[in-house]
Amino acid sequence: MDLITGGAYQGKRTYAMKHFSVSEEDIFCCSEDAPCDFTAGCIDHLENYVLYCVKNHLEPAMDFRSDAVLIGRDISCGVVPTDPLIRRYREVYGRYLQTLAARCDSVTRMFCGLPQKLK
């Protein structure tokens, strides 16, 4: 598994397509209103999947394919959110990403379109 993270609009998906040869059809885009499709080769917006789990009191799973390319936005840097749900979401997602990063073969952070290898 390979993880790509970074802030919003930093070129994460473009990098996945270019560097990991992911095509549009491979990408499953997570929504905060539906479960995740763990069979997809590339899963984008992991933060939405975790928000879905938090909203529905579910433990977010990591049943991804061993060759999956995973993309998740970094949402960790702002002020503590006033909304308790968003506060919990931010915490659960942060811990989720830490565990996921430990399990991934590579971790890349995108900064203004430029990749920074973290692992």
Binding site for other proteins (CB under 8 A): 6-11, 73-79, 81, 86, 89-90, 111-114, 116
Identify which of residues 57 and 79 has a Cβ nearer to other proteins in the complex: 79
Question: Is the Cβ of residue 39 or residue 76 nearer to other proteins in the bound state?
Answer: 76
Question: Which residues are bridge partners to 107 per DSSP?
Answer: 3
Which of 35, 113 has the CB closer to other proteins?
113
Q: How far is the CB of 74 from other proteins (least distance, A)?
A: 4
Q: Terminus-to-terminus CA distance in the chain, angstroms?
A: 12
Residue where the block lists tokens 């590339």: 42
Q: What is the enclosing helix (H) or strand (E) of 28?
A: strand 27-29
